[in-house]
Amino acid sequence: MIYLLIHHEVADYSAWKATFDSSLDWRTKHGERSCRIFRGVQNPNELTLMFEWENFEKAHAFIASDELKTRMASAGVKSTPRVEYLTEMFSIRRSAAD
């Protein structure tokens, strides 16, 4: 499993989110396993997305695809996305019992 961390700014979160939601099947077909969306506290149009992807090769091909660039432009992505590929080394989840 590989993680993608993507940071970019959008023109309008609601418009971006509608396009993002309509692309779920397309992303899943290309290897997405899960996604979390974070918005900036001071600028809610600054987004950080954390994806869990099937493997590095599929993630890299997806990020490099012309179709993704076209979809991002139509969704109102304003800035050049910053993309990081990560592997998980350690994880801990706290519960109310801790």
pLDDT tens for 16-41 read 999 999 999 999 999 999 999 999 99
Total number of domains constituting the chain: 1
Is 91 a domain residue?
Answer: no
Read off the pLDDT of residues 86-95 as tens digits, 9 standing for 90 and up: 999 998 888 8
**For residue 15, how many C-alpha atoms fall within 13 Å in the half-sphere facing its CB?**
13
Of 36, 51, 73, which is closest to residue 2 (Cα–Cα)? 51
Q: Provide the token pair at 12.
A: 């309008």
In a domain, 6, yes or no: yes
What is the pLDDT averaged over residues 36-65?
Answer: 97
Q: Mean pLDDT over all residues of the chain?
A: 95
- pLDDT value, residue 93: 84
pLDDT at 97 over 80: no
- CA 32 from centroid of its chain's CA atoms: 9
Q: Does residue 10 lie within any of the structural domains?
A: yes
When pLDDT is cut at 50, 70 and 90, the band that residue 98 belongs to is low
What CATH number corresponds to the domain at position 26?
Answer: 3.30.70.100
In a domain, 96, yes or no: no
Looking at residue 87, its amino acid is T
Full-model pTM: 0.87
Residue ranges making up the domain that contains 58: 2-86
Residue 93 inside a domain? The answer is no
CA distances from 52 to 4, 34, 55, 83 (A): 6, 5, 9, 13
